[in-house]
A and B are shown apart, each in its own frame.
Chain A
Amino acid sequence: MRITIKIALLVNIFMLPACEDLFDYSPYAIDFSDENRNVNQRSIEKLQSRENDDTITIALTGDTHRFFDETELFVSKVNKNHSIDFVVHVGDIADFGLPKQYLWGNSFLLKLEFPYFVVIGNHDLVGNGLKAYQEMFGLLNYSFNYDGIKFVFVNTNSREFKFKGDVPDIFWIDKQLQPGVDFTKAVVIFHVPPTDGDFDPSLEEAFHNSLSHYNNVLFAVHGHSHHHEVYKPYADSISYVNVFGVEHRKFNLIKISNNQFKVETVEF
């Protein structure tokens, strides 16, 4: 009997490394490998070493939720276009905010041949999704300059923060858009648009004002509503690009040159 148990224990010990991926401790355990950490900052570094021409080409998707197969198709389609500088995901990469869904979503994005940036969406914040986002992507508000344009990523998921009045962070946005030597124009990217019920209504006007204050925002980009349109929510002001949800099997391509931009739709 003793020998049987000893053998059983030995077999178990040898099986342990092989089964490591199958062991699950909790749907909320966050234990990310290096490639699944600090993604946005590493993409910024990768982008700085890219050779740029006179046109910035950005592929945009978002609201990938549980559309993993579609996300995989998006990645293989985008990889065929060698003129792309970087890829933007407009949020909701994890439908239930689960660390595992973050890993699934990122497993496809990791196959992109370009630097990519993910802005936080409301679904990404459910459960301990905030922690998972911070571990995987980094800061909720971040920005970088590329080819004379400043790209500003903002957390606009006011409802997830109980409409406390500090999401979105208007002061931070204003600071980012203050004219500087490194950029002439800016692009602001967020998940929930200011006209949506999930955006803090007490901050809508301040948000709009902060974007138009320095007259340097070329356009704004958002997701959340899954469909695509280019529109001006406030009269005589900035164009908003609403990005296709990945399930439509269409993505948007934005080309910026000479402070002008053009939006295209690509099917996959």
Chain B
Amino acid sequence: MIFVTGVEAFSQLAQKSDSAKYKVFLPDYVKLQFAGGIGFVSIGVGYTFFKQKLEVSYFYGYVPEFVSTDDLHSVSLQLTAKLLRFKVSKTVELMPLNFGCFIHHSFGSEFWITLPDHYPEEYYWWSPGRNAGVFLGGEIRTKLLSTATPASGTAFYVRVGSRGLYLASKFGNSSIPFSDIIEFGFGVAIYR
């Protein structure tokens, strides 16, 4: 009896969630990115805020064995501010100055976040498992896919960034070229 009511309640809930309400929780876009320090390929979802001026994205990134001794899994949380926006034509928008920051979390016991017990306090000041960085980027928003699919448009973006661990390594060292600490990446975003 309890089971039946449970199922009924669930189906009612499911019907309700079919309404526009649940769309609030649907991500505003999906992204597919190449490189950029957060994976060989990464796939992300996220939300836009303040008339699409701010984006919060969550990426899963994968590095396969053909570009690294071991394959690597990681996730990253990104905040992107779209500081400038130009309408190039009816269908094309240009966002030449995006600024962002990210936190990147690599999976694996060797990539710890809190200092393991076998170290005295503050033995190492950074954590290999979680590091942060910044990036600058640009984006072209088009109406591609908007006619044939439910998507509203497709954007192509590039980003040039670095992370704290690289910046700390470069600091005070003219012998390290800037290009060595750059994480360059590009990707595509499909907007709802």
Chain B nearest CB, measured from A159 CB (Å)? 6
Give Cα A31 to B65, complex, Å.
Answer: 9
B184 and A24 contact, CB distance less than 8 A: yes
Interface residues of A in 225-260 (CB under 8 A from B): none
Contacts of B185 in A (CB 8 A): 23-24
A12: nearest residue on chain B (CB-CB)? B186
- Cross-interface CB contact of A96 among B36, B61, B126, cutoff 8 Å: B126
B182 and A24 contact, CB distance less than 8 A: yes
**Chain A interface residue count, Cβ-Cβ cutoff 8 angstroms:** 40
B67 and A25 contact, CB distance less than 8 A: yes
**Chain B interface residue count, Cβ-Cβ cutoff 8 angstroms:** 51
- Cross-interface CB contact of A30 among B34, B69, B74, B163, cutoff 8 Å: B69
Give Cα A251 to B63, complex, Å.
Answer: 40
Chain A nearest CB, measured from B160 CB (Å)? 8
A100 and B118 contact, CB distance less than 8 A: no
A-B contact pairs, 25 of them (CB 8 A): A12-B186, A19-B184, A22-B182, A24-B35, A24-B36, A24-B182, A24-B184, A24-B185, A25-B67, A26-B38, A26-B40, A27-B37, A29-B67, A31-B69, A66-B171, A69-B174, A69-B175, A96-B126, A96-B128, A98-B165, A100-B166, A100-B180, A127-B110, A130-B110, A159-B119
A-B pairs with lowest CB-CB distance, top 7: A127-B128, A22-B184, A29-B68, A24-B183, A23-B35, A30-B69, A68-B173
A92 close to B (CB within 8 Å): no
B72 and A28 contact, CB distance less than 8 A: yes
Contacts of B110 in A (CB 8 A): 127-128, 130
Interface residues of B in 106-121 (CB under 8 A from A): 106, 108, 110-111, 116, 118-120
- Cross-interface CB contact of A128 among B108, B131, B172, cutoff 8 Å: B108
A130: nearest residue on chain B (CB-CB)? B110
Question: A68-B173, A69-B172, A130-B110 are known contacts; what are 17 more A-B pairs with Cβ within 8 Å?
Answer: A1-B144, A12-B186, A22-B182, A24-B183, A24-B184, A25-B68, A26-B61, A27-B166, A29-B68, A66-B171, A68-B175, A69-B173, A98-B169, A104-B169, A127-B110, A131-B69, A159-B118
Give Cα A100 to B186, complex, Å.
Answer: 21
A126 and B68 contact, CB distance less than 8 A: no
Q: Which B residues have a C-beta under 8 Å from some C-beta of A?
A: 34-40, 61, 63, 67-70, 72, 74, 91, 104, 106, 108, 110-111, 116, 118-120, 124, 126, 128, 131, 142, 144, 156, 160, 163, 165-166, 168-169, 171-176, 179-180, 182-186
B67 and A104 contact, CB distance less than 8 A: no
Chain B nearest CB, measured from A104 CB (Å)? 6
B133: nearest residue on chain A (CB-CB)? A27
Proximity string of chain A (64-81) to chain B, C-beta cutoff 8 Å, 1 when within and 0 when not: 001111011000000000
